[in-house]
Amino acid sequence: MRILLTNDDGIHAPGLQSLERIAAALSDDVWVVAPEYEQSGASRALTLADPLRVRKIDARRFAVEGTPTDCVALAFQELVEGARPDLVLSGVNRGQNLAEDVTLSGTVAGAIEGMVLGVPAIALSQAMTYFADEVVAHWETAEHFAPGIIRRLLEVGWPSDVVMNVNFPPIPPERVDAVEVTRQGFRDSHLRRIEKRTDLRGRDYYWTGFTAKPSNPPEGTDLKAVYEGRISVTPLHIDLTHNATVAALKGVLGGAPPKLAPKPESSQEPGL
């Protein structure tokens, strides 16, 4: 099995090193094509107005000055020699990719590009524990469980228009007691934070980030599983159509387009 690895945290990210160890447990034919610089939050961005520069690190390892989507597209079209990859693994992301955040995630986007190109793809993320003075990522949790989960997913298979989104809870491996197949959740609180600061020349600038405040999600969601220490496996697809609204609108917007009302005649006399 030929495996392509990518991520959104960059070629030097510790999560990518974890992913390489995970992939090594599955195959000896592993290729890495990852962003030169961090691309967190890039979603499915594609570089169109600038050239894509590639740094070849070794025979099967490349850094790209672009997004995760760029990396996977380049890997398939230019960088991976010989046969196409059989599997795309994206991650292991530094931090969870749950609920509505999957639409922002470059990690999930890397997997989606693999799916678009016709290859099974899995996004993997390691949730972190936040303390007052440090952030702890238990990479050993992802490394311990990911090979077995990936093998099982490949055995049972999944539809060609679906990617698998796997999130590992922020606890050591010995405390994980279950894997749960979940649906995508939606937070009941807004986590994004924008902080205004001033540089030494008196100019304002802003940092965007997230708070660590947990929401109160219902059972069966990706959020609930990870909050309670379970590994979440969520099948995702990019059809964003809301079918109930489609059905409702067909009764009022179907058929000929509505006619525009005529413009009222001006009461003003023409200018001289």
Domains and CATH numbers, the chain: 2-185+217-253 (3.40.1210.10)
Q: What is the pLDDT of residue 267?
A: 59
Number of other CB atoms surrounding residue 176 within 10 Å: 17
Handedness of CA 35, 38, 41, 45 (dihedral sign): negative
> What share of the chain has pLDDT > 90, as a percent?
81
Binding residues for a divalent metal cation: 8-9, 40, 93
From the list 103, 73, 108, 104, the residue with the least C-alpha distance to 93 is: 108
Q: Are 34 and 63 in contact (CB under 8 A)?
A: yes
pLDDT, the chain, mean: 93
Q: Which residues are annotated as a binding site?
A: 8-9, 40, 93
Burial class (CB in 10 A: 0-12, 13-18, 19+), 215: middle
Q: What is the mean pLDDT of residues 256-264?
A: 75
Report whether pLDDT(216) > 90.
no
Per-residue pLDDT of 121-147, as tens digits, reads 999 999 998 765 677 899 999 999 999
Stretch 90-110: mean pLDDT, rounded?
Answer: 96
